[in-house]
Amino acid sequence: MKEPSKSAVVRTRIAPSPTGLMHIGTAYMALFNYAFARKHDGQFIVRIEDTDRQRFVEGAEQVIFDGLKWLGIPYTEGPNIGGPHAPYRQSENLPMYKKAAEELIEKGHAYYCFCSAETLDAMRKDQQARKELPHYDRRCRAIPLLEAKKRIDTGEKYVIRMKVPDHEVISWDDAIRGHIEINSNVVDDQVLMKSDGFPTYHLGVIVDDHRMEITHIMRGEEWISSTPKHILLYRYFGWELPVFAHLPLLRNPDRSKMSKRKNDVSVQSYREKGYLPEALRNYLCLMGWSHPQEKDVFDLNEFIAKMSLERIQTTGPIFDINKLNWMNGKYIREVLSLDELIAKLQPFLPADFPKDLLPKVLPLVRDRLVTLKDIGPLTEFFYRDVETKKEDLIGKKGTADEAKMYLDESIKKFETVTEWKAMPMETVLRDMCDAKGWNRGAFFMTLRVAVTGRTATPPLFDTIEVLGKETTMKRLNQARALFA
């Protein structure tokens, strides 16, 4: 694909429906549309397509705005910020869609259809019985316009359908997939205006994309089969075609399509689970696109600079939660500064988390954090009482007598410690263990379980230093009491 000329103003958009959640696929499409527009000094627009009133969810619009803001994907125009091409909600633009549909009627490119839901259902069942693909059989297409208008005047319900020509190859050069051809014989006479006066997606999207001067339609591959309808509508209206670019859909590891019935696809859910917006955004950059230097970790500005449609693959990228976890952990460990991480962790700290504890424990658990939400379970033993199990103190190959001995000697040694610092304490306890000929692994595991209640923790003596002498001695004595 040729890059846009320097004189051309690139305008891209996303047009989500407010149906309850912001799908991760919407974020993915928004990211690529935004980056492409930014790279070419253009504009990225958000338009809300809310004409499907049965699926409309109050407040869902704000969920989309909040999700884009959290991910750091700004837009130039939209319902909540305005712009020169308002309105940015389809429900506020109904007269224009009606006018457009009537224009198609007058030009002979559309017709009134009076078929009831029952008629259409029977038609569909009959076609299925004959093992045909369900389609409208065009029975209302032959109704003369004057007769149709008379029926409308009597109050008969109707929809408006587009006229699709027969035996025509409709083609376009897709910016990602190359030349595509579809025969019009497999294209249905699409409903453009519903009986409730609202447009269908196909009419609304064309009218708004033209009105908003969108130059590049970058959307999911599921819309490829609808593109011939859209090309015909552009032709019928006499409008210039935009560039079409169909991105691959996100897939599960088994190659199935990500859906809210099977997957956690809500952007808000990833936010609540403690994923970093920078990491999730970086991961989405790699969905079907690869960095020229094969880098995995890079910021948004680098993506904008390196991004090109030519590097987008046509096969569906795998959304692998394990890879996302790896990337999120890498951002936590290597990308964010300690102060940045502390700030981002604040909403995830339990209510009883001591205010002064985080700077002390974060260096100890940072390498173990996969998401921000992990901070709670990884650190609770520092400030909450622990439950120590006798069998864990003994270990798989130890004995009760050995565990008692380890605890007795440790208590004596810790009581004499004057400098409560990790390094000298570790040296003293290690020397004692070696002098007595104990198994290091068994000894230190008993000690670890006694002071933390766990078999896996951050570095033991750094943990003991943060716990302090009073808490450490209390827990050692509680553990020893289990063998009384």
pLDDT in tens, 392-447: 999 988 999 999 999 999 999 999 998 999 999 999 999 999 999 999 999 999 99
| pLDDT class of 20 with cuts at 50, 70, 90 | confident
pLDDT digits (tens, 9 = 90+) for 42-79: 999 999 999 887 788 889 999 999 999 999 999 999 99
Band of pLDDT at residue 27, cut at 50, 70 and 90: very high
Q: What is the pLDDT of residues 452-476, one digit of tens each?
A: 999 999 999 999 999 999 999 999 9
Asked if residue 48 lies in contact with residue 88, where contact means CB atoms within 8 angstroms, the answer is: yes
> What pTM value is reported for the model?
0.91
Measure the CA–CA gap between 286 and 458, rounded to whole angstroms.
32
Is beta strand 110-113 parallel, antiparallel or unpaired with respect to 159-162? antiparallel
What is the C-alpha separation between 135 and 124, in angstroms, rounded? 7
Distance CA 292, CA 97 (A): 44
Q: Report domain 390-481's class.
A: mainly alpha
Matching residue, tokens 């985080």:
358
For residue 7, pLDDT over 60 is answered with no
**How many other C-beta atoms can be found within 10 angstroms of the C-beta atom of residue 31?**
26
Do 299 and 281 meet the contact criterion of CB atoms below 8 Å apart?
no
Least confident piece of the model among 54-68, 294-308, 323-337: 54-68
Q: Judging by beta carbons within 10 Å of its beta carbon (0-12, 13-18, 19+), is residue 142 exposed, middle or buried?
A: exposed
> Quick one: pLDDT at residue 484?
79
Report pLDDT for 481. 95
Q: Work out the pLDDT band at 157, boundaries 50, 70, 90.
A: very high
Q: Which residues contact 364 (CB under 8 A, 6 or more apart)?
A: 458, 459, 462, 463, 466
Q: How far is CA 209 from CA 2, 3, 201, in A?
A: 21, 20, 12
pLDDT value of residue 87: 96
Reported as a single tens digit per residue, the pLDDT across 284-295 is 999 999 999 999
**Four-point Cα dihedral 169, 170, 171, 172, nearest 10:** 170
Residues 475 and 484: their CA atoms lie apart, in Å, by 15
Does residue 313 have a pLDDT over 80?
A: yes
Average pLDDT over residues 445-450: 97
For residue 87, cis peptide bond before it (omega within 30 degrees of 0): yes
State phi, psi for 241 to the nearest 5 degrees: -70, 140
Class for domain 267-376, per CATH?
A: mainly alpha
- Residue 328 near residue 279, CB atoms below 8 Å: yes
Q: Is 481 exposed, middle or buried (0-12, 13-18, 19+ CB in 10 A)?
A: exposed
Residue 270 CA to residue 264 CA, distance in Å, equals 8
First-to-last alpha carbon distance for the chain, in angstroms, is 79
Q: What is the pLDDT of residue 371?
A: 98
Beta-bridge partners for 318: 251
Q: Rounded CA gap, 250 and 64, in Å?
A: 19
How far apart CA 43 and CA 36 sit, in angstroms, is: 9
- pLDDT > 90 in the chain, percent: 91
Given a cut of 90, is residue 125 above it in pLDDT? Answer: yes
Res. 340: pLDDT tops 70: yes
- Polymer length in residues for the chain: 484
The secondary structure element, H or E, covering residue 112 is strand 110-113
**All CATH 1.10.1160.10 domain ranges in the chain, comma separated:** 267-376
**Residue 193 dihedral angles phi and psi, to the nearest 5°:** -125, 130
> How far is 356 from 340, CA to CA, in rounded Å?
16
pLDDT value, residue 4: 55
pLDDT at position 256: 84
Give the pLDDT score at 2. Answer: 46
* Catalytic residue chosen out of the listed positions 157, 260, 262, 421: 260
pLDDT (0 to 100) of residue 53: 78
Q: What is the mean pLDDT of the chain?
A: 94
pLDDT score, position 262: 64
Confidence of residue 1 (pLDDT cuts 50, 70, 90): very low
**pLDDT for 19:** 87
In this predicted model, what pLDDT tens digit does every residue of 241-263 receive, in sequence order?
999 999 999 998 888 887 666 66
Q: Is the pLDDT of residue 3 over 80?
A: no
Q: Which helix (H) or strand (E) holds 160?
A: strand 159-162
Contact indicator for 12, 37 with CB cutoff of 8 Å:
yes
The reply to whether 260 belongs to the active site is: yes
